């Protein structure tokens, strides 16, 4: 199963025809994906299940319907165990960006973190996961496939937001600060965090 986000609403890609009575289930091969995206974007549709009996076909079919942008990013920890966040468009995010030709995805991820935050001495410790969301560029919908890596650094220097990319802040955040930031973040970013980051006191709980 995959979750492909339109804004913060996930389109479910699964091998099951029925995943719940609230879901509109459509064979992914027959899905008019752009029409579905428009309805979700307008708040006219919330629960969509695009299915195919073979899991390996799900993304392949979607990528035939939408041009794919490959990107890499990092969840970066410093020596205090704090996590590196950026703020863009009024929401907290993790640094990431588009892959360039002849780069490995690991090279992309490190370069993008460095460019967006000016943090140096990055070391990848493990692969986290791949997230998917749909964006609109030049009037066309595209699928953004972001490969995320856990990283560490001993960098203690100045944090500098890459303003030309619309980044207004770069901050190290501890556990509690990260919880607060995730309330003003994106659903696909929340997928990268351990469950304890998403659990708060009842009145502040992240849904």
- Least confident range from 52-66, 95-109, 184-198: namely 184-198
Tell me which residue range forms the domain holding 38: 2-65
Phi, psi angle pair for 188, to nearest 5°: -70, -30
58 lies in the same domain as 80: no
- 183 and 112 together in one domain: yes
CB atoms within 10 A of CB 82: 16
Q: SS3 sequence, 177-199?
A: HHHHHHCCCCHHHHCCCCHHHHC
Q: What is the pLDDT of residues 8-48, one digit of tens each?
A: 999 999 999 999 999 999 999 999 999 999 999 999 999 99
Summarize pLDDT for 102-159 with one digit per residue, the tens: 999 999 999 999 999 999 999 999 999 999 999 998 899 999 999 999 999 999 999 9
Same domain, 100 and 188: yes
- The answer to whether residues 8 and 19 belong to one domain is yes
- Domain ends where: 65, 93, 110? 65
Q: What percent of the chain has pLDDT over 90?
A: 92
H or E, element range at 55: helix 55-65
Contact 4, 143 (CB under 8 A): yes
Domain boundary among 39, 65, 91: 65
pTM of the model: 0.91
- Give yes or no: residues 164 and 185 share one domain: yes
Q: What total of structural domains would you count in the chain?
A: 2
Residue at token pair 């995206």: 37
């Amino acid at each position: 199963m995959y979750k492909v986000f339109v804004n913060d609403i996930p389109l479910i890609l699964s091998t099951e025809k029925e995943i719940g009575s609230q879901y509109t289930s459509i064979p992914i091969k027959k899905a008019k994906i752009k029409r579905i995206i428009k309805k979700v974007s307008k708040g006219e549709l919330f629960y969509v299940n695009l299915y195919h009996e073979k899991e390996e076909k799900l993304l392949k079919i979607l990528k035939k319907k939408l041009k794919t942008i490959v990107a890499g990013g990092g969840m970066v920890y410093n020596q205090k165990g704090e996590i590196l966040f950026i703020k863009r468009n009024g929401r907290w995010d993790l640094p990431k960006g588009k892959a360039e030709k002849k780069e490995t995805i690991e090279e992309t991820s490190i370069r993008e973190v460095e460019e967006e935050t000016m943090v140096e001495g990055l070391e990848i410790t493990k692969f986290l996961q791949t997230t998917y969301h749909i964006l609109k560029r030049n009037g066309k919908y595209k699928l953004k496939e972001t490969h995320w890596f856990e990283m560490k650094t001993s960098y203690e220097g100045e944090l500098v937001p890459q303003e030309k990319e619309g980044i207004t802040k770069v901050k190290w955040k501890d556990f509690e600060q990260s919880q607060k930031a995730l309330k003003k973040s994106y659903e696909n970013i929340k997928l990268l965090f351990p469950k304890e980051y998403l659990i708060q006191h009842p009145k502040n709980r992240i849904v």
